[in-house]
């Protein structure tokens, strides 16, 4: 029996009879306010149509775009593969290679724009750096794909954040349904169940990091202990790390998003406070035995010797251990994470474009070939 699929927008979402599932509950607390208020009200650099897609007991967030070249990479393939990638070239520490790749990216950028690369519908897109997945079967993917082709005949269909850390089932299920898997970044994951001798040594480093909290005089406070008056400070800390230190192509969460996280408990927030002042914050969510942290920030003006990043990362690892789930800590700070027992894995986007005109298919095929045969080997070699 074929599963029933239905798409909802901001004018029809109140007719949805919300199922009692982990992903549906998260969507109700987090995605529903975004749909009703509009993406830009919560994330300054996201301009996208927000929808909800229901199938069986699952409710997926969906973003729909046309061009929007200045959008955050979370809903813009152009920003992800061109704009953001150019900013990250410096990490190669090889000037000649950086210049060659920059020239290649400039040329590819023109081709991608001509190929309407941003005309996409992205499913399970929470507008966060990492999208966690519920159990999604091969037959459900087939049903969703057929439905989305009918609803969006001119749009590429994408599922972001596919990895093979636990097993290849989801990866293979997309391949079996005709999706092309295009590499996106190298991620780092920590499994508290891994008890190997090497991991024991790495846990010693984590214990040192965690002990810094008491040594530096900080206390860990939970969401219900963070007053709404501290929201501007939380935004400031997130911006200091993700936007000012890294890239303004990261989602620019504003005060409304942080208020939503606190009031609706859409994200689990924790903060480091010392003498009444908050100097660090993490915000995470969990799904299907995995947790990830879209919000992480600290006062970058304080000396590195204070160890705020070490403390926040240790707190995340402690939470994953307490909950007995895997910690997905996105990309970046590769050597730091490896020395603490995190394992690298290439993350992919599953892309379906067979229903598009040949010339648009050709652009996606070219992008996939270059990324999987050039960028992914570089990610693995330089452990970016």
Q: Tell me, yes or no, whether 175 and 271 share the same domain.
A: no
Q: Tell me, yes or no, whether 194 and 334 share the same domain.
A: yes
Q: Tell me, yes or no, whether 59 and 130 share the same domain.
A: yes
- What's residue 347's pLDDT? 97
Residue 170 pLDDT greater than 90, yes or no: yes
Label residue 341 by pLDDT band (50, 70, 90): confident
Pairing between β-strand 49-55 and β-strand 5-8 as defined by DSSP bridges: antiparallel
Q: What is the largest CA-CA distance in the chain?
A: 62
Q: Tell me, yes or no, whether 139 and 225 share the same domain.
A: no
- What's residue 2's pLDDT? 62
- What's residue 382's pLDDT? 76
Residue 105 pLDDT greater than 90, yes or no: yes
- What's residue 166's pLDDT? 79
pLDDT, tens digit, for every residue of 346-356? 999 999 999 99
Q: Tell me, yes or no, whether 128 and 112 share the same domain.
A: yes
- What's residue 34's pLDDT? 98
Q: What is the mean pLDDT of residues 364-372?
A: 97
Q: Tell me, yes or no, whether 227 and 272 share the same domain.
A: yes
pLDDT, tens digit, for every residue of 270-329? 999 999 999 999 999 999 999 999 999 999 999 999 999 999 999 999 999 999 999 999
- Cα(285)–Cα(264) distance, integer angstroms: 13
Residue 1 pLDDT greater than 60, yes or no: no
Residue 119 pLDDT greater than 60, yes or no: yes
Q: Tell me, yes or no, whether 353 and 242 share the same domain.
A: no
CATH number at residue 302: 3.40.630.30
- What's residue 214's pLDDT? 94
Tell me the percentage of the chain whose pLDDT exceeds 90. Answer: 86
- At 184 the three-state DSSP class reads strand
Q: What is the DSSP letter of 276?
A: T
Residue 342 pLDDT greater than 60, yes or no: yes
Q: Tell me, yes or no, whether 202 and 126 share the same domain.
A: no
pLDDT, tens digit, for every residue of 174-227? 999 999 999 999 999 999 887 665 556 677 788 899 999 999 999 999 999 999
Average of per-residue pLDDT values in the chain: 94
Q: What is the mean pLDDT of residues 235-261?
A: 96
Q: Output b/e per residue, 132-157; b: 16+ Cβ within 10 A.
A: bbbebeeebbbbbbebbbebbeebbb
Q: What is the mean pLDDT of residues 88-108?
A: 90
| Structure tokens that stand for 26 in this block | 């998260």
- What's residue 176's pLDDT? 98
Residue 3 pLDDT greater than 90, yes or no: no
**Do 66 and 356 touch, CB atoms closer than 8 A?**
no
Label residue 48 by pLDDT band (50, 70, 90): very high
Q: Tell me, yes or no, whether 77 and 137 share the same domain.
A: yes
| Inter-CA distances, 18 with 52, 55, 265, 278, 307, Å | 11, 11, 18, 37, 43
Domain with 271, as residue range(s), is 190-343
- Cα(171)–Cα(138) distance, integer angstroms: 10
Q: What is the mean pLDDT of residues 32-45?
A: 98
- What's residue 205's pLDDT? 83
Q: Tell me, yes or no, whether 228 and 246 share the same domain.
A: yes
Q: Tell me, yes or no, whether 180 and 203 share the same domain.
A: no
- What's residue 384's pLDDT? 66
**Do 285 and 268 touch, CB atoms closer than 8 A?**
yes
Give the chain's domain count: 2
- What's residue 200's pLDDT? 62
Q: Tell me, yes or no, whether 135 and 111 share the same domain.
A: yes
Label residue 150 by pLDDT band (50, 70, 90): very high
Q: Output b/e per residue, 291-303; b: 16+ Cβ within 10 A.
A: bbbbbbbbbeeee
């Amino acid at each position: 029996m074929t599963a029933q699929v239905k798409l909802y927008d901001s004018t029809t979402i109140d007719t949805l009879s919300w199922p009692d599932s982990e992903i549906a509950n998260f969507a109700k607390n987090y995605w529903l306010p975004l749909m009703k208020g509009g993406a830009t009200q919560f994330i300054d650099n996201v301009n996208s149509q927000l929808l909800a897609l229901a199938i069986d007991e699952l409710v997926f967030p969906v973003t729909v775009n046309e061009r929007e070249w200045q959008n955050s990479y979370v809903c813009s393939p152009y920003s992800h593969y061109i704009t953001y990638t150019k900013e990250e070239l410096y990490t190669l520490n090889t000037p000649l290679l950086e210049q060659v790749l920059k020239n290649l990216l400039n040329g590819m950028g023109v081709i991608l724009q001509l190929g309407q690369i941003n005309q996409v519908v992205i499913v399970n897109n929470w507008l966060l750096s990492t999208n966690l997945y519920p159990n999604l079967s091969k037959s459900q993917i087939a049903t969703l794909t057929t439905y989305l082709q009918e609803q969006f005949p001119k749009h590429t269909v994408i599922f972001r954040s596919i990895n093979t850390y636990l097993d290849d089932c989801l990866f293979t299920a997309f391949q079996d349904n005709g999706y092309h898997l295009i590499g996106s970044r190298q991620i780092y994951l920590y499994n508290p169940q891994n008890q190997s001798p090497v991991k024991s040594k790495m846990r010693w480093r984590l214990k040192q990091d965690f002990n810094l909290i008491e040594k530096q005089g900080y206390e860990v406070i939970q969401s219900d202990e963070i007053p709404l008056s501290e929201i501007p400070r939380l935004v400031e800390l997130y911006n200091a790390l993700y936007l000012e230190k890294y890239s303004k192509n990261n989602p620019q969460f504003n005060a409304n998003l942080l208020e939503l996280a606190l009031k609706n408990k859409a994200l689990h927030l924790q903060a480091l406070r010392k003498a009444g002042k908050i100097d660090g914050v993490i915000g995470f969510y969990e799904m299907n035995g995995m947790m990830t942290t879209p919000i992480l920030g600290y006062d970058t003006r304080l000396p590195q010797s204070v160890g705020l990043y070490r403390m926040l990362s240790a707190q995340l690892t402690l939470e994953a251990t307490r909950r007995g789930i895997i910690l997905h800590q996105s990309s970046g700070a590769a050597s730091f994470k490896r020395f603490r027992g995190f394992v690298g894995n290439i993350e992919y986007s599953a892309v379906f474009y067979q229903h598009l005109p040949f010339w648009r298919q050709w652009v996606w095929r070219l992008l996939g070939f270059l990324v999987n045969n050039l960028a992914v080997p570089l990610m693995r070699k330089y452990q970016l």
